[in-house]
Structure 1
Amino acid sequence: MRFSFLLFCASIMCVLTYWCMAQGNLTFLFEFELLKLGSLPVGFTIIVDKISLAFSFVVTMISGCVFMFACEYMKEDKYFWRFIWILLSFVISMNLLIFSGSVFFLLLGWDGLGISSFALIIYYQSSESLSGGFQTLLANRVGDAIIVTSTMLLALYGQFTYLFMENFMWPLVFMLCVAAMTKSAQYPFSSWLPAAMAAPTPVSALVHSSTLVTAGIYLIIRLCYNLELSSSSKSLLVLAGAVTCLLGGWAATFENDLKKIIALSTLSQLGVMTFCLGMGFPVLALFHLFTHALFKALLFLAAGTILMSSFGTQDIRLLGSTSISMPLVVVIFNVTSLCLIGAPSLSAFYSKHLILELMLFHPMSVLSAFTMLVATAFTAKYVFRVMKAVSWSHPVMTNTAAVSLFKVDCSLFILSLGAISSGKFFSILEMSVNEVVLMPSFSGSLLNFVVVLGAVSGLILVAAEKTSYFLSTLFWLTPLFIGSSKILAKCNEKMASLDYGWLEPSMKVKLVGFQLSDLLNWPGSINSFTRVLILSIVISLAFSFVV
């Protein structure tokens, strides 16, 4: 409880500081010079403005509720305090990233998130958690390598801060956008997000709401506030956002694991944010990031409470008796699930519905808009499918127990206020997120029809009897990431003689001679590498030429 109290105090401090700075529209930059390379100063920069303070408030408030929930969820764990300290380092790393203004300070929080998230995902030491931790670490290392490489361009431009940029720096901005895509699980780096579900539920509530997955989105928003993104960067974000949104919603319709369905819903919502950034609305994307963080944390805590009552059962086909034993928790779960589709009067209605309306009037390819509409229908489908399975189906399990603990109820109550009223609150607090959209009745009816169509199909199809290897592996990305080390195994075998030294006569390096078919034929008949490559090319060409 002591950490929860400290985090709540930090969130109150952020609110008070935000209020004081908003009166004069102030921004503070703190620069600390470590050394000087010729005429190039090397140091780190801290930025304190309305964006960083508002995001830090959301992170610390959610973290306080999650820590309170974890005190009950993990109280019987043998290494409880080890878990709490790793979780605290995770939150601190996110706050370092939020207030960072230079690439070195950014890497401090960026790498801190990667290392602490790896330690939390593999916490249970099972084969599933080890596999999920490996995928998460591998995807994050790709983004780390891109950011480290971008420091060369920063040195050429004579600065190590990304807060002040010009239009001629578009290659640097493009590299940072790609690095952000790895952290925010955008296609083709999406497979690690559902695999991270092997972590304890409090970790999932933080990872999928306001910390790890939002780090990349926040970085792109920072770049958008400094200069307008180039057309190549916008096209990349629109493509990645649309495909990721479709991928998450489509795959969730074939899942029966409750936590994995929520994880795939996070993937879909991240695609909506990235799509919004590609359209050129960073303020609206930040608005949806805040609302999504609040209701997604509540959704995971409600799901964790359901898992506690069902003694760890995660199959939605076996959770039909939950509404009888815990009606209040199920009501919270249903209301939060409706936030995913942007139901009226809820928080996401003020952000997601506005993004979809602006999409219909934005100049883009027809395929992009059609993909987002299909993804919206899939979102409504899996939301109503889960609600019917958990809330309205007949009791299946007889060994469920009601969970009524003060710390759990208190955390759910605090986040419930945010999940319901945060949309209206942020729209009043920051008027720049409000957009006036004058649209014909046909366009509004089209959005409503798509949502209703998905809801009806979700109510009809309760359980997913069929399975799809194509969707369960997220377009064959999972086997590619899990066995990525096998792709280079043949190359490493050929380079074994390098251990003797570069000048030894016995050195036989046949980098050019080894057969390409051996590289691409892994893993046997399921040629994941080739399939992912071909699929990525087809998607890119489709979005490039369909107008």
Structure 2
Amino acid sequence: MNNLLIYSFIMFMLFILFILLSFYYYYMDLGVMMEWLLFNFNSINMEFYLLFDWLSCLFISVVMLISSMIMLYSVIYMNMEIYIDRFIKLVILFILSMIMMIISPNLISILFGWDGLGLISYCLVIFYQNYMSYNSGLVTVLCNRIGDIGLLMSIGLMYIYGSWNIYFMQSSDKLVLIMLFLASITKSAQIPFSVWLPMAMAAPTPVSALVHSSTLVTAGIYLMIRFNKILINSMMDKILLYVSVFTMFMSGLMANLENDLKKIIALSTLSQLGLMMMILSLGLNYLSFYHLLTHAIFKSLLFMCAGIMIHLMNNNQDIRFCGNMNEYIPFTMVSFYISSMALMGFPFMAGFYSKDLIMESIYLMNINMFLLLMMILSISLTVSYSFRLFYYIYFGNNNSSCSFFYYKESKLMNFSMIILMSLSLFSGSMLTWLFFFDNYFMLLKVNIKLLTIFMLMLGIILGNFMYLKNFMNLYYYSFFFSSMWFLNYMFMWIYKPFFNLGNNMYEMDKSWIEFSSKNLVLSAVKEISLMQMNYYKIFMFVFIVIYVLMMIFLII
């Protein structure tokens, strides 16, 4: 446990260092790029780049802050875990992989961090080593490997240009961009690769808070932020716009019918990722980055509160068994309330500033009515599932079949949550004043400006309706909406022929090995053993002769 405290302190110091660096680089309009030549072959240089500008330093500072708070939180949360050393090493490796990806403007150096994230996320998902975690880990790693293949293919295709640097890429390289697009949408769990994100909830709650707020799922967003200008010029932004809007709508709809606490928060992450990808496809990469930072802070706090609630409910995650939880864990519920309000975009909280800027930018753009309605409806669905969760946790009745576990709030956990809670209140306005205010200024009519507020009010009404759904006959329709539009079954149908082919090849391979081992290998082993026996006899004879001659020589 002392190790966790030490690592937490180190990461907090690194947070202060990188936030100061980001201020310096932003206001001095500077950036530092370091380059190492690994090797060159036929005038092709394989180089290792590191880029430190205000964007990368600010992102690293947020990752370090959240990681330090999660380490502090894990001191109490994971104190009964026997494999705590493994947990600490995996989390540190995971953070280092993310930092490696953030500071890399080169596809070769991005690959180190990218593959590290994929491998260590698999190890963290299967941390508890039960059937559910193994199944979730396999789905996670299979979906992410599709994106890894896309990144490797783009590296192979960029071999033509003699360099893997971002600055050598052109918008005419459609195939390279398609591969990078595939890599980013799989890592950020956009449709049709959204299956793995809710399943990755099998990991411990501190891991979920880290993975689903600022590290793994935001890797694809960050890659698209770096490649944004090339993406817009290549006209691939239209595909990304439709993919992201449908992802946002699907996850919001699914969260309104879900009863698992951690899955609801995971689906809200998926909804916010769709929002970030949507504004990226419209060319506003800094605005997407702004929402990425604010979302990381309040989403990690949401997961922390969810972990304490699960402990209180004796490891039960069903929200229908919750109720009146503010009587047992008052500070946690206040934190949960504030972070959820920030998620909804309640005025003057962290999520409000970024979401309001995003919606105002969308209203000023030339977007068709269908997509605009889908976007506004998706925003209202965010409010709807948050209010539904409020009603279950605050005003629901305690179910007698669920045993409560006596849990006393820890001051150390509360300290880590206080810092994130205060940032959930102030980080949106602070980032606006310090970094993003001079880039965006919009003037809208009053009726358009109030459209978002009206849709949020509609979301509150819809949340009340979804809470009363248990008394209505809506279960006939809820399976389709809560099953991620049958994407699980689609992947099963796609993978099934390959699994059957692999199984048949394995059976054929096994029979071939048995046949060859009977007829060839065993006979070869016998010959070798006979030769070895002969060599052994010859060696012993020579040894005895030499030994006898030496004895005779010593006697004489």
Name the TM tier (shorter chain): 0.7 to 0.9
Match of 1:474 among 481, 484, 488: 484
- Which one-letter code corresponds to 1:272 in the other structure? L
Alignment correspondent of 2:406 = 401
Match of 2:388 among 374, 385, 408: 385
Match of 2:21 among 14, 17, 33: 17
Alignment correspondent of 1:123 = 127
Question: Is the 8 Å Cα contact of residues 135 and 481 (structure 1) preserved in structure 2?
Answer: no
Question: Is the 8 Å Cα contact of residues 256 and 466 (structure 2) preserved in structure 1?
Answer: no
Matched, 1:315 2:318: yes
Deviation of 1:351 after TM superposition, in Å, equals 0.6
Deviation of 1:99 after TM superposition, in Å, equals 0.7
- Which one-letter code corresponds to 1:359 in the other structure? I
Taking a change above 3 Å as real, the CA distance of residues 365 and 175 of structure 1, as seen in their structure-2 partners, is farther
Alignment correspondent of 2:288 = 285
- Which one-letter code corresponds to 2:35 in the other structure? E
Matches within 5 A, 1:327-366: 327-366=330-369
Match of 2:418 among 409, 413, 437: 413
- Which one-letter code corresponds to 1:447 in the other structure? T
Question: Is the 8 Å Cα contact of residues 251 and 267 (structure 2) preserved in structure 1?
Answer: yes
Taking a change above 3 Å as real, the CA distance of residues 294 and 481 of structure 1, as seen in their structure-2 partners, is same
Cα distance between partner residues in 2 of 1:75 and 1:402: 14
Long gaps (5+) in structure 2: 511-556
Higher helix share: 2
Question: Is the 8 Å Cα contact of residues 258 and 314 (structure 1) preserved in structure 2?
Answer: yes
Larger displacement relative to structure 2 (456-465 or 411-420): 456-465
Cα distance between partner residues in 2 of 1:12 and 1:135: 37
Matched, 1:193 2:203: no
Cα distance between partner residues in 1 of 2:503 and 2:199: 30
Question: Cα RMSD (Å) of the superposition?
Answer: 2.2
* Count of residue pairs brought into register by the alignment: 501
Question: Is the 8 Å Cα contact of residues 287 and 358 (structure 2) preserved in structure 1?
Answer: yes
Alignment correspondent of 1:444 = 449
Matched, 1:79 2:89: no
Taking a change above 3 Å as real, the CA distance of residues 229 and 432 of structure 1, as seen in their structure-2 partners, is farther
- Which one-letter code corresponds to 2:308 in the other structure? T
- Which one-letter code corresponds to 1:361 in the other structure? L
Alignment correspondent of 1:242 = 245
Q: Sequence identity of aligned pairs in percent?
A: 35
Matched, 1:429 2:404: no
Cα distance between partner residues in 2 of 1:370 and 1:290: 26
Q: State the Cα deviation string for residues 245-273 of structure 1 (Å, max 9, x = none).
A: 00110000111111110000000000000
The TM-score with structure 1 as length reference comes to 0.87
DSSP 3-state at the match of 2:46: strand
Larger displacement relative to structure 2 (142-151 or 121-130): 121-130
- Which one-letter code corresponds to 2:489 in the other structure? P
Taking a change above 3 Å as real, the CA distance of residues 496 and 393 of structure 1, as seen in their structure-2 partners, is closer
Alignment correspondent of 1:300 = 303
DSSP 3-state at the match of 2:344: coil
Cα distance between partner residues in 2 of 1:392 and 1:365: 40
Question: Is the 8 Å Cα contact of residues 97 and 106 (structure 1) preserved in structure 2?
Answer: yes
Taking a change above 3 Å as real, the CA distance of residues 495 and 199 of structure 1, as seen in their structure-2 partners, is closer
Cα distance between partner residues in 1 of 2:368 and 2:438: 25
Cα distance between partner residues in 2 of 1:491 and 1:107: 30
Cα distance between partner residues in 2 of 1:497 and 1:74: 44
Cα distance between partner residues in 2 of 1:147 and 1:462: 43
Deviation of 1:375 after TM superposition, in Å, equals 1.2
Deviation of 1:4 after TM superposition, in Å, equals 0.6
Matches within 5 A, 1:523-542: none
Alignment correspondent of 2:67 = 63
Alignment correspondent of 2:209 = 205
Cα distance between partner residues in 1 of 2:117 and 2:468: 36
Taking a change above 3 Å as real, the CA distance of residues 433 and 485 of structure 1, as seen in their structure-2 partners, is farther
Long gaps (5+) in structure 1: 501-547
- Which one-letter code corresponds to 1:470 in the other structure? F
- Which one-letter code corresponds to 1:453 in the other structure? L
